Structure 1
Amino acid sequence: MTFNPSQAPSDPGRQARQPGCKHGVMDSTAPMDEWPQIGRVEVEPGSLDGPGVALTVLATELDIDIDESTRGEVPADGWRVIRRHPEGGVMFAAPVSADRTRWHVGSARPGTSQTFHVSPEPERLRPSRADRRGGLVLKWAPHMVDTGIPDDFVVEVVNEGDATWWPDGDSFHVVGVFTEPGRSDFSFGWAGMHRDGGVPLRPGEYARMRVDVNSGVWENIEPGTYNVQAVLVDLGIRADPPLTVTLTKDAIAARRHRHPSRRSARDERRMIEHDIQRLHAITLAAESLDIVLAAVRDAESADDAATALATALDCDQDVARLIVSSPLSKFNAVSRDRTAQRIAQAQRRIDAL
């Protein structure tokens, strides 16, 4: 996932209004920081109003296919576009409860004849990040102001409000980014597998958190003076001012030496890309079960089946062997949704490298 803190408080017009979109009025002038969220998806203001449209109508408008097995698992009506990405992707949703607090969320890329993907479980409607963070601020721990490079970067999530702060599904995961001194605009990617759950904080209380700095940074960074930007990603809170550190050649070498067994960013990327290839092959196999069955039925051994399947699906032999040995339940609708989520999660890991 990619985050640009300089756009979080104010990002007018980032999402263009689509002329032909009849299922919900979208206000693209509101800052994304003030948009409500379904799960962790920002929702364009106004898009949840109104009754929505039938799933078949939405599919026709967006030029996407509906998987027949999915059709019976999601609401038939109430669908509307909730978010349009600049690169062409679309997020849409339909309520599953009368009070509209829980929604099924789906995604697709219109015009590509792509079957849309819908989350297997409904997501909860939440207030915006601006509303949820209340009186919380992010401060560097007092010992961080010392010169040199610390063993770990540490911040404090402080409640400076007048009321107890309660988490609403938010984590206290804080990401750190090195920037040139004086620079305030930056972006970064992160993967949300290691999440530090938020805890209630009474006025004046704080939680001390370690800042997650991508280990790959130390492979390429040069000696010099930097600002360390810290962002609590779930709530869009940024430590202000940033921490200024001077990195010497010895300090950088010590950091690299501290984790000698870690894979390089290149090796990590190669491993994740192979995993994505494997998951895409499983998705393709689920959509081409007749090919899978023919390869298994006509083969005299598992190896022969894998060889035939690797050719038919244009995947490597190891992936084909995995498909051949997979139970049929791997290819049902629920498993396909989970595979799509794992692909998205793997892509976020690549973005975070």
Structure 2
Amino acid sequence: MTPHDDWPRLLGIDVDPAAVAASGEALEAVLNRLGGTSDGMPVPGAPAHGWRILAEPSVRHTVLGAPADPAAARWHVVQLTAEGDRRALHTAPELAPLRPSRAQSRAGLELRWPAVVSRHTPPDEFVVDVVNTGAARWTPGDDGMLVIGSLIPTGEAPRVFGWMSSQQQRGVPLDPGEYLRVPVTHTSTDWHALEPGRHELHAHLVALGLTTPLPFVVEISASDLTRLRAARSAARPSPAERRRSLENQRLRVEAQLAVSADPVRLIEIVRLADSDDAAVAAIGASYAYDREIAEVVYRSMLSELLPANAQRSRRELAMIAQSIEQLEG
């Protein structure tokens, strides 16, 4: 379970329930106490008072918020980020709904090993079932279904492990007894440190903090390890390549988020173009994007540009920023 498993969430971040229930104060008062400044940045439609510190996910990031309605169901959210010797304020472009805690969101779910997983299944073919054991339909929020596997030599204590990814399978509604079968990802596993033999396989549904109640005992062969080590070495990018990839990913997501604020404008640009190349060129000229970013916007699915899905894009940007920070760390 996560350290704040029973805390509600905003934009995928655990927020202190005591802070949520507090009365709050003026934004400038909170910023002055933290040594930050809004630099005149407006928070559209935000109240003058009601602001409070909701979370401090890292030493460089502080999340502030103010409720947008009497029920505190939706929030104005800003993030104070340390940038060199200053602390900059970044405003979430849309109101964020207050989501249930991970404990509430996973109620009724259980991870179970299906019969297709055997003792000698290759490690990169492991799957697990997310089963609704409750009496009512389980409906997913916007949490991903990324399941991480941990292989521990038999007799050793389980280790704490973590992983972050923006590429996650989406959840689907599950009636009582129904299940969703998902692959078990081993990106965190150090195949070079692993030895052939018997291991206990643990699986963890990251977004909901759900773990298999019992490990599955598997046999890892020397041939499997040789194959997996070779694949990992060939696929592993250098830190510089990883940084460039993350920066490019950030630019793509920022472009999609910006366009989603007015999708009608994009549709009109594309409608007037007489070819794919013309449409890409027109997008680049209208939004001041280079051809690569304009191509990404043009090839985006409509669902990625819906204003209602902006929250997912903002969460992806936050994860990218944390990944870049870890590389710099």
Asked if these proteins are the same fold (TM beyond 0.5), I'd say: yes
What is the correspondence of 1:1-353 to structure 2 with a 5 Å cutoff?
5=1, 8=2, 11=3, 32-71=4-43, 74-85=46-57, 87=59, 89-108=61-80, 112-181=85-154, 182-191=156-165, 193-214=166-187, 217-218=190-191, 221-256=194-229, 263-264=235-236, 266-267=237-238, 269-274=239-244, 327=288, 342=317, 344-348=319-323
**1:156 maps to amino acid:** D
More displaced, 74-83 or 109-118?
A: 109-118
Q: Give secondary structure in 2 for the equivalent of 1:142.
A: coil
Determine what percentage of the aligned residue pairs are the same residue: 28
Structure 1 unmatched runs, 5+: 12-31, 281-325, 331-337
- For residue 21 of structure 2, give the secondary structure of its aligned residue in structure 1: coil
- Normalization by structure 2: what TM-score? 0.69
Query: Cα–Cα, structure 1 residues 135 and 71, in superposed 2: closer, same or farther, change >3 Å?
Result: closer
The aligned residue for residue 24 of structure 1 is none
Is the alpha carbon distance of 1:217 and 1:54 closer, same or farther for their aligned partners in structure 2, counting shifts above 3 Å? Answer: same
Contact 2:145 2:169 in 1 (8 A): yes
SS in 1 for 2:25: coil
Contact preservation (8 Å) 1:107, 1:116: yes
Distance 1:253 1:184, change over 3 A: closer
- Cα shift at 1:279: 9.9
Aligned CA distance change for structure 1 residues 134 and 88 (closer, same or farther; 3 Å): same
Contact (CA 8 Å) 1:190, 1:351: kept in 2 or not?
no
Contact 2:43-2:91 at 8 Å conserved across structures:
no
Q: Which has the higher contact order (CA 8 A, sep 6+)?
A: 1
Deviates more, 1:58-67 or 1:242-251: 242-251
Q: Post-superposition shift, 1:341?
A: 6.7
TM-score, with length taken from structure 1: 0.65
> Which range is displaced more, 249-258 or 154-163?
249-258
Distance 1:84 1:64 in 2: 14
| TM-fit CA distance, 1:155 | 0.2
**CA distance, structure 1, for counterparts of residue 93 and residue 8 of structure 2:** 21
Offset of 1:342 from its aligned partner?
3.9
Is the 1:189–1:348 contact (alpha carbons within 8 Å) kept by the matching residues of 2? no
Structure 2 unaligned segments of length 5 or more: list them: 251-286, 294-312
Larger Rg, first or second structure (1 or 2):
1
CA distance in 1, matches of 2:179, 2:136: 13
CA distance in 2, matches of 1:168, 1:59: 32
Deviations 1:200-223 (A, max 9, x none): 111111111111221874455443
Please say if residues 11 and 314 of structure 2, whose CA atoms lie closer than 8 Å, have aligned partners that are also in contact: no
Q: CA deviation at 1:73?
A: 6.7
Query: Greater shift after overlay, 79-88 or 238-247?
Result: 79-88
Corresponding residue of 1:287: none
* Secondary structure, aligned partner of 1:199: coil
**Inter-CA distance 270–216: structure 2 relative to 1 (3 Å threshold):** farther
State the distance in 1 between where 2:171 and 2:42 align. 34
Deviation of 1:343 after TM superposition, in Å, equals 7.0
Change beyond 3 A, Cα 1:243–1:339: closer
Report the number of matched residues. 269
How far off is 1:87 after superposition?
Answer: 3.5
Q: Name the Cα RMSD after superposition.
A: 3.5
- Residue 126 of structure 1 and its aligned partner are, at CA, apart by 1.0
